Structure formats: structure tokens, C-alpha cells
A and B are shown apart, each in its own frame.
Chain A
Amino acid sequence: DGGITQSPKYLFRKEGQNVTLSCEQNLNHDAMYWYRQDPGQGLRLIYYSQIVNDFQKGDIAEGYSVSREKKESFPLTVTSAQKNPTAFYLCASSILGQGRGAYEQYFGPGTRLTVT
């Protein structure tokens, strides 16, 4: 059963605490991504990675950190520096194109984070 898993589905934290969201894929994809989605909005890219031990900042990386120690795993830490952390977080993966642009991305079910 191949795919992307994210856990937990719902997460509640107090303000000032760091929290780590899990993302695992068994699709053997090289590239992985983290997005944030706010109500009624599209997806905004937080971080992305195309290879183990390497990752790049997306459009809204401030207050977030990631690691890519294994090809299958790309955890996201929401730090206390993130001013507005309550949101729906989506992880995705894809193969890397051979100079023909982006391939389709496979998404996990998401984690809804609420910080109070």
C-alpha cells in the first residue's frame, strides 16, 4: 500500500511550544514538500527537498525548520517563532523531472494544527 502518511491528523499546542509534524512516503520519490493552507486559501510552499540532507526555503519558511535524513521522511517543526501557526499543513512528494518541468505531486491527508 504505497502513499504518503502524515501524523497526527489533529494537533493542539500551547503558544510558545515547538511542535513537529511527521511526513513519511514509500513511493521512492526524491522530492518532498511542505505546504501551509489557511481557510479559503491556496497552498503556500514552506520548504522543499530534492535529495537527502538538502532542502530549500519556500515562500514562507520563517518560523519553520525541516530535516531530510532519510529519503522517506521529511518532518516539519513549527517553532515558537512562527507568529501565526494555526493552519492545515500538507506534505507532498514527487519524482524529479528530467528537465521537463514539474511532475504530479502526491499529497498526504494533512495535519490540522491549532495553537492557543
Chain B
Amino acid sequence: SQQGEEDPQALSIQEGENATMNCSYKTSINNLQWYRQNSGRGLVHLILIRSNEREKHSGRLRVTLDTSKKSSSLLITASRAADTASYFCATDANSGGSNYKLTFGKGTLLTVNP
């Protein structure tokens, strides 16, 4: 079952511009995570935001979480060609004993043109 859904599916911008990706989910969560995947590689964890947090920063990344709207956004500022990758949100389930599992969305493919 798909818990998180990213929007847009694909995003193409110029180097130096900001990129914003959104994620919506359906059920109550403990935390939401963002991952990055370069083509043909494994995923790399970017940032985790807990359900009682509203905003978190890490370098050029800014993540917001709105639990009332069940949505999150990932902002990458001053993008670089090396940021070209797919970005996934992942949520856990705030219920039951297996709340260490993650459910991933389908991802946003970001292309940063030099």
C-alpha cells in the first residue's frame, strides 16, 4: 500500500534555482523521512522529521511537516547539477508493533540543468 505520494513526479530546473517537492500521506505517523536516490544506486537518507516538529534544516535542505494536512515539503536551495536524483518521502505507521517499517512514495525525479 502506498502511504506517501510525492508531487510533482518530475521537476526540471536550472542550477542555482530552488527546488520544492511535496509529499502527502494518509494515516497518522511518528515521523517522516526523505531519501535521495541517484540512478541505479541505493537510497541515501537525507533528513528525518518527527510528528511534533514543524520544520527542520540540514545544509541546503529544509523540510516542513504539517500533520493537520498530512503533508510535507522538501526544499533544496541553490540547486546544483549534482542534486540531480530521485527524491522519496517515507513514513512509518503510528500504530502497532511494527512501527519501524517505512512506506515509500513513488518519488520525484529532479533534474538540475547546468
- Residue numbers of A with Cβ under 8 A of B are 4, 31, 33, 35, 40-45, 48, 50, 56, 58-59, 88, 90, 92, 94, 96-97, 100-110, 112
Contacts and interface: CB of A to CB of B under 8 A. Distances in A.
B31 A105 contact: no
B40 interface: yes
A42 to B, nearest CB: 4
Best-buried of B40, B43, B48, B94 by chain A (most CB within 10 Å): B43
A107 B44 CA distance: 7
B1 A42 contact: no
Interface of B: 1-2, 29-31, 33, 40-45, 48, 50-51, 88, 90, 92, 94, 98-107
Given A42-B105, A56-B98, 19 more contacts: A33-B101, A40-B106, A42-B2, A45-B103, A48-B98, A90-B42, A92-B42, A92-B43, A94-B100, A97-B30, A100-B50, A101-B29, A102-B92, A102-B101, A103-B100, A104-B48, A105-B43, A105-B102, A110-B42
A102 B94 CA distance: 10
A43 B104 contact: yes
A50 B42 CA distance: 21
A102 B99 contact: yes
Contacts of A44: 104
Contacts, number: 77
Given A42-B2, A59-B1, A110-B40, A101 B45 contact: no
A58 B105 CA distance: 15
B107 A42 contact: yes
Contacts of B88: 42-43
Nearest to A48: B101
A12 B90 CA distance: 30
